[in-house]
Structure 1
C-alpha cells in the first residue's frame, strides 16, 4: 500500500527508511482507530462538496459514499486495519477505496490535505466527547446533591488551614463540590465555541483552487461555522486542544479536592464518613487496613491531566505559522485526557454513592471552638458591642459552654449558610 505523499522512487525498504518510518509514525496509526468514524463522515461530506464543485459525478459520489460506509462497517466489527505502513487512518481509508473502486478512490483527496483531514476528525471527536464529559459531570453532580440532601440537617466542622474553623454541614460540604462541577459544566459553552468551527477545505492551510463550498461542508458536519482563514486551521491546531484539555483539568481539579476530603474524612483521625468495602482495598501485610484506593487514584488522575495540558503547551510553544510535524503529537494528549476525565467522573460518581455519614462522630466533632465567631456576633447583637471588641473578648475567654450544633444550623438562614445551603438552586 502506498503512502499519500510517496513518489514512485521512494525507498521504503532500506533499514534506515524503516527506522525513520517507525519514529515518524510513532503510535499514530493506533490512536487513529478511535477517530475513524469521524474521518469517514468528513470524507463523505467532502465527496459531496466535490460533486457540488463538478469534480465528481452523482454516480461517482454514490459509489464513494458506499465505499466509505463499507469501511465504517468494517471498523464497527473491529476489522478495519491501520498499519504502520499506512501511517494513519487517512491513508488506510484512501487505500481501501482505491482497492475497491480503482481510480475513483484516488479522487477523494482532491482539494484537501491530511492536515485539514486530521484536524476535522479531531474537532468532531472533541465536540462529541465534550457532550459525554458534560453528561458524566452532570451525573456526578446529581449524586453529590443526593448526598447533600441526605445530610442537610447533619452538622459538620468546617476547616481552614486544615484546622477547625466554623460550623458547617454535610449539605454545605457536598453542595460546594456539586456547585463547582455545575459551574464548570456551564462554562463548556466557551470551549465548545472553539471546537465548533470546521477546518475542512482549508487543505494544507492555504486553501485550494478547487471551488469547495466550505459553508456547505461545515453545515453538513454539524459545525456552527467554518474557520474563515485557511491559515487559522493550522494556527489553531494545538492551541484549541490546549484550552480543551485545560477545561478538562478544571473538572478533574474539583474531583481531586473532593477525593482528598473523602480520604481525610473517612480515616481514623476524623471518621466522619465510612466508605463501602467495594471502593477500598486491603494490605498484603497489614490485616486491619482498609485503604481508600479509588479516592486516591481519582486524586492522582488529575496530575495526569495536568501533564497532558503541559505537553500541549510545550508542543505549541515557539512554533511559527503553518504546519509542523510536531503538531502530530498533539493528538495523543487530547485522547488520553478525555478518557482520563470520563473515567474519573464515573469513578467519582461510584465513590460518592459508596459514602455513608457517621452522624455521631460528626456530632462529637462539632466542639465549642467552632462557635467562637458566632459568640462574638452574639455580643454584637445583644450587647451592642463593636465586633472588634467582641472578637477580643471571646479570644481572651477560656472557652464557651457546650452549644447544640443542630440549633445553630436552624439559626443560620441566609442563602448558602449551614441552615440554608440552597441545594435546589444548584
Structure 2
C-alpha cells in the first residue's frame, strides 16, 4: 500500500530502513490509541461537512475493528507502512473507500502521533499511580504492624540512634506519595488535547478542536498549535523525570533490603519464592528481583536523559528527531509499572526478624539519648555531649527509646493516618479522572475502552 506522503519517485531502501527504524514495531503498542483518536477526528469532520453521517458510521465500525485487533496483537504494521497511521488509513481506504481518503483532512501525522501518545500515556500514568497507591498502602500497613519493633537508625551506614521498622516502612510510603505528586503534574500536562494543531500551524478549516477534546475525555485543550508540537519530547522527558523519582525511591528501598537481609544483619528475610538460585553454588538464594529493581532505576533515569538530549536544541516546529523520544517513553512507562508490581509483592511477603533487629543495637546507640537526659537535668548540650563522648557505651532499652520519640513523624509518633489520608485522596483523584475518560470513550464508541494492554 502507498505511503501517506507517496510521490513519483522511489525511496532509497537504506534511508527508508534508517528513518523508519523500529517505529512501526513500537506503534503496534499504540495503534489502539490512534484508532480511538481517529474516531473522534472523524466525528468532528462530520460537523464541518467533510464527512457524512454514513461515512462516520462506516469509519467508526472499521476503526473499532482496528482497535480490537491492536489490543489483541493482531493488527499488522509493516516497515513499508512506516507507522500505524499509514497502516490504519490504508486499511480504512480499502474497507470503506472514499471516506478513508478523507479522514486525514485537517490533521498531520504530527498532531496525530502526539494525540496517540498522550491518550496512551495518560492511561498508563493512571495505572502507575494506582499501583503506587497500592504499594504505599502496603508499606503503611507494615509500618503499623512493626511500629514498636526496634531498628538501628544509621548514618554513614554506622549505628547512630534508636529507630524502628515502622519508621523505615513509613518513610518509603511517604517518599512514594511525594513522587506521586510529581507524576500527577505530568499527568495534568498529558491530559490536554493536541488534536487539530496539524503540522504546528493549524489549517484553513473551521476545525472544532474543543469538540475533539471533549470526545476524547481530555481535561482541557492545549491552546497554541505551535506549542503543541514544541512540547513533544519535552513532555516525554518530564514524564520520565517524574517516573525516575519513583524508580529512585524503589531503588533505594531495594538496596536497603539487600543489605539488611544479608546474613550478617538478618533484619529482614525474603521468602524462597522471591529468590533465584546459582548454577554452581547449590546453597545460594539470590535477591535478584531487588538487584534488578536497583538496576532498572538507573535505566529509567537514562530514558529521561535520552529524551531531553534529543529535543534540547531543536528549532520550533516538527523535526524527525522527535521520533526517537517514543521508545524511551514506552520503555520507561513499562519499566516503572513492573517495578511497582515487584515492590508490591516484596513488601507483602518479606519477613521481619525482631530478634535480629534488637541484637543489632549496641550500647553506643543510646549515647545521644544519654546526652539529652543530662540536658533535661540542667546540663548544657555541649557539656553533656563532651562528657558522654568520653564513655559512649550507655545502657538503654530499645523499645522505650522508640516510645520516647514523640514529636510528629518520629518513631514514637509515626502519624500513619497522614499517609493513609494521602493514599485515599490520590485514589479518589485517579478514580474521578478515570471516570471522566471512561464516560467520554463510552459515549464516543458505545463500549468500554482500554488503551494499554495488560502485562
TM-score range, shorter chain: over 0.9
Q: Deviations over 1:65-95 (max 9, x none)?
A: 1221222233234322111011100000000
Give me the whole-angstrom Cα distance separating, in 1, the residues matched to 2:294 and 2:244: 12
How far residue 410 of structure 1 moved from its aligned partner, in angstroms, is 2.1
Displacement of 1:205 in angstroms is: 0.5
Q: 1:154 aligns with which of 137, 149, 158?
A: 149
**Mapped partners of 1:142, 1:77: distance in 2:** 32
* Correspondence for 2:277: 282
The aligned counterpart of 1:137 is 132
**Equivalent residue of 2:80, what SS?**
coil
Tell me if 1:4 matches 2:4.
yes
**Greater mean deviation of Cα atoms: 188-197 or 341-350:** 188-197
TM-superposed CA distance for 1:150, in Å, is 1.8
Show the counterpart of 1:422: 415
Q: Match for residue 229 of structure 2?
A: 234
Query: How many pairs align?
Result: 419
For 2:280 and 2:40, locate their aligned partners in 1 and report how far apart those are by CA, in whole Å: 60
CA contact (8 A) 2:33 2:67 kept: no
Deviation, structure 1 residue 398: 5.1
Q: Per-residue deviation at 1:225?
A: 1.7
1:391 matched to 2:390? no
Q: Distance in 2 between matches of 1:349 and 1:110?
A: 46
What CA RMSD, in Å, does the superposition of the two structures yield over aligned residues? 1.2
Partner of 1:339: 334
Structure-1 residue corresponding to 2:447: none
1:37-186 alignment to 2 at 5 Å? 37-186=32-181
Structure 2: give runs of 5+ residues left out of the alignment: 420-455
Tell me the TM-score normalized by structure 1. 0.96
Partner of 1:409: 402
Q: How far 1:97 sits from its partner (Å)?
A: 0.5
Higher RCO structure (Cα 8 Å, ≥6 apart) = 2
Which of the residues 302, 307, 329 maps onto 2:297? 302
**CA–CA distance in structure 2, aligned partners of residues 37 and 75 of structure 1:** 5
SS of corresponding position for 2:152 = strand
Task: Give the alignment partner of residue 272 of structure 1, picking from 239, 262, 267.
Answer: 267
- Alpha-carbon distance in 2 for matches of 1:316, 1:60: 39
CA distance in 2 between counterparts of 1:61 and 1:282 reads: 57
Q: Distance in 1 between matches of 2:153 and 2:271?
A: 24
SS of the residue 1:70 aligns to: helix
Q: Which runs of 5+ in 1 are unaligned?
A: none
Would you say the 8 A contact 2:36–2:67 is kept in 1? no
CA shift, 1:39, in A, is 0.7
TM-score (norm 2): 0.90
Give, in whole Å, the separation in 1 of the partners of 2:182 and 2:15. Answer: 43
* Cα separation, 2, equivalents of 1:414 and 1:137: 27
SS at match of 2:201: coil
